[in-house]
Amino acid sequence: MEYTAFARTWFLDPKKPALGRYPSLLDDDEKPPALESSLEDIGEYQRRLWANGRKALLLVIHGPDTSGKDSLIRTLATYADPAGFHAWSFSRPTATESAHDFLWRVTPLLPAYGQMVAFNRSHHEAVIAERVWPVRAEESYNWQARYRAIRDFEQHLVSEGTCVVKVWLNLSEDEHKRRLLKRLDKPRKRWKFDRSDIEGWKMRDKYQAYAEEALAATHTNEAPWFIVPGDRKPEARAIVAALVAEVLKSLAPDYPEEHPDVLEEYRTLLAENGVE
């Protein structure tokens, strides 16, 4: 599909893979689109997508721990029709999942036609986190083959009518540190703290390096990566909401039309049954 200039602003440049070269904050004079307006558009056009049942949207959200993936997805779902919207979260593969090919666990959760599905982490964990914390013998991995498999998998989805939008929430080291401490300081966030957060922080540089390689290797015109500044959650939510609204409008600009004869028959049947 064709993206507007606004959307292309956030495209990953494979020639510039280092995430440190992308902003984690908007400039003070930059104003993201109004969040509420975008959320209303998501609600409306997601219903049109559901009503038409011809296309689907897969939204992939990635970023380091504390980057706001959960809260972003909750925000995007504000006005979504639950009949046509689902969200799934992926963590370290279970023993059953790791006994299959790495795409096995995500395939059953892909959107059906008419649906919008958000993945909190995804099959891309198999070329980012799994490089830092392997789930099988390291010599058994072929990372270049996995990159090819992801590109082919997403190309297949697109060719069959599923739009794939991938977002990386770009978090600075200072903000990452601040949010980890916030999880300890605030009781309503403390439950989210896990020992793996410490391990993730210790391995931040390695994780970031693998992410840079993976994003560059899996960014395509058909399934692009968007690098969104993540240090301020309200701005990140506004940018991603605007992107999602734009995509939904292109996938389902109108509700499906019924033939006039069908509508007239429906009115007649209602009238015959006392509904006038």
Range from 48-52, 160-164, 188-192, 209-213 carrying the lowest mean pLDDT: 188-192
Range from 10-19, 35-44, 173-182 carrying the lowest mean pLDDT: 173-182
In this prediction, residue 200 carries a pLDDT of 75
Q: What are φ and ψ of residue 71, in 5° steps?
A: -65, -30
Residue 171 makes CB contacts below 8 A (sequence gap 6+) with 24, 63, 64, 66, 67, 179, 230, 231
Buried b / exposed e along 53-64 (16+ C-beta atoms within 10 A): eebbbbbbbbbb
In this prediction, residue 104 carries a pLDDT of 98
Per cent of the chain over pLDDT 90 is 82
pLDDT at 161 over 70: yes
The single-letter code of the amino acid at 16 is K
Q: What is the pTM of this model?
A: 0.92
In this prediction, residue 273 carries a pLDDT of 81
Average pLDDT over residues 133-147: 95
DSSP 8-state code for residue 189? H
List the structure tokens of 60. Answer: 């992939």
List the structure tokens of 252. Answer: 């389902």
CA distance 249 to 96: 39
pLDDT at 109 over 60: yes
Q: pLDDT confidence of 130, banded at 50, 70, 90? A: very high
pLDDT at 117 over 80: yes
Q: pLDDT confidence of 181, banded at 50, 70, 90? A: confident
CA distance 76 to 72: 6
Average pLDDT over residues 107-111: 98
Distance set, CA 252 to CA 56, 75, 127, 224, 248 (Å): 10, 21, 32, 20, 6
Q: pLDDT confidence of 89, banded at 50, 70, 90? A: very high
In this prediction, residue 264 carries a pLDDT of 77
Predicted confidence (pLDDT) per residue in 211-247, tens digit? 999 999 999 999 999 999 999 999 999 999 999 999 9
Residues β-bridged to residue 226 = 11, 167
Contact criterion met (CB below 8 Å) for 223 and 164 = yes
CA distance 180 to 197: 8
Q: pLDDT confidence of 189, banded at 50, 70, 90? A: low
In this prediction, residue 274 carries a pLDDT of 78
CA distance 96 to 219: 29
